[in-house]
């Protein structure tokens, strides 16, 4: 895989497990810094959506690899309005469905899929001024990112946040359904984390030089402020001194 191109402006890399709040934090940080934003998870989801739509057996790595070059993925980088299309179709809704969520980790483990998406990601990153979120941004996509954050949270907190995002009011009002949903969501997050962390190509890992931020007991605003403060002390201060 080619190495990252030289840039003139900073990149903030935010990696971490599912449900740690990467998307909300990354968008908040991008808005605060006036930066662009790239959601690489959405790209893996978009490829997965395409594979399911074209009846590719997602558990057959050779079949997934043979189709890896076909989906045409385009992603917008405006943090106020992130967009993602496959073959010109807006898939921002469908890629969040349960079927895609259940299938994405095996697809993302296929090296041919990763090589293709990393290339598109590096093109989108271009000269920098961007916050990029994913699993391998600080370790593989932009190993020389000016700020690398590894965002974590306890599994219970991650499941609670995901459930709140997904839940309809009927589930939230019923204690037994809420408990079942929380349990299923937690199991699904942990299952995805285990595939993402154990794959041989670009596993989820805390990159060298990454600052670990545990968001379990922090509000979204607190995490955004914390990351922006890290950026100001490590990157903007460094640029002017």
- Interface residues with ligand C5P (CB under 6 A) are 18, 40-41, 44-45, 104-105, 108, 134-137, 192, 196
Q: In three state form, how does the secondary structure of 71-111 look?
A: CCEEECCCCCCCCEEECCEECCCHHHCHHHHHHHHHHHCCH
Nearest approach, Cβ of residue 217 and ligand C5P (Å):
22
Q: Distances from the Cα of 224 to the Cαs of 14, 102, 179, in angstroms? A: 11, 29, 29
Q: Which is nearer to ligand C5P, 41 or 236 (CB)?
A: 41
Nearest approach, Cβ of residue 134 and ligand C5P (Å):
2
Nearest approach, Cβ of residue 177 and ligand C5P (Å):
23
Q: Which is nearer to ligand C5P, 179 or 191 (CB)?
A: 191
Q: Which is nearer to ligand C5P, 44 or 49 (CB)?
A: 44
Instruction: Report the chain's terminal Cα–Cα distance, integer Å.
Output: 34
Q: Which is nearer to ligand C5P, 54 or 191 (CB)?
A: 191
Nearest approach, Cβ of residue 18 and ligand C5P (Å):
5
Count of beta carbons in the 10 Å neighbourhood of residue 95: 22
Torsion, Cα 45 48 52 54, to 10 degrees, reads 120
Q: Which is nearer to ligand C5P, 1 or 229 (CB)?
A: 1
61 CB contacts (<8 Å, ≥6 apart)?
106, 109, 110
Burial zone of 205 (CB within 10 Å; 0-12 exposed, 13-18 middle, 19+ buried): middle
Nearest approach, Cβ of residue 168 and ligand C5P (Å):
21
- Spacing of C-alpha 135 from chain mean position: 6
Closest C-alpha among 24, 120, 85 to residue 93: 85
Q: Which is nearer to ligand C5P, 78 or 233 (CB)?
A: 78
| 214 three-class SS | strand
Nearest approach, Cβ of residue 148 and ligand C5P (Å):
13
């Amino acid at each position: 895989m080619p190495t990252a191109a030289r840039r003139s402006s900073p990149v903030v890399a935010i990696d971490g497990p599912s449900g740690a709040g990467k998307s909300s934090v990354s968008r908040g940080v991008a808005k605060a810094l006036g930066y662009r934003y790239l959601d690489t998870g959405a790209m893996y989801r978009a490829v997965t959506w395409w594979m399911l739509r074209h009846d590719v057996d997602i558990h057959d790595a050779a079949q997934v690899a043979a189709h890896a070059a076909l989906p045409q993925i385009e992603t917008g980088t405006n943090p106020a309005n992130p967009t993602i299309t496959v073959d010109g179709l807006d898939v921002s809704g469908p890629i969040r469905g349960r079927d895609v969520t259940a299938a994405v980790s095996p697809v993302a483990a296929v090296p041919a899929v990763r090589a293709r998406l990393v290339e598109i990601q590096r093109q989108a990153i271009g000269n920098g001024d961007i916050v990029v979120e994913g699993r391998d941004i600080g370790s593989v996509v932009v190993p020389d990112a000016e700020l690398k954050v590894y965002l974590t949270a306890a599994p219970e907190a991650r499941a609670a946040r995901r459930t709140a995002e997904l839940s309809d009011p009927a589930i939230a009002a019923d204690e037994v359904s809420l408990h079942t949903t929380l349990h299923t969501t937690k199991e699904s997050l942990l299952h995805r984390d285990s595939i993402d962390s154990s794959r041989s190509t670009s596993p989820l890992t805390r990159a060298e030089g990454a600052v670990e931020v545990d968001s379990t007991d922090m509000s979204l605003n607190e995490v955004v402020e914390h990351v922006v403060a890290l950026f100001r002390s490590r990157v903007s201060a460094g640029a002017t001194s």
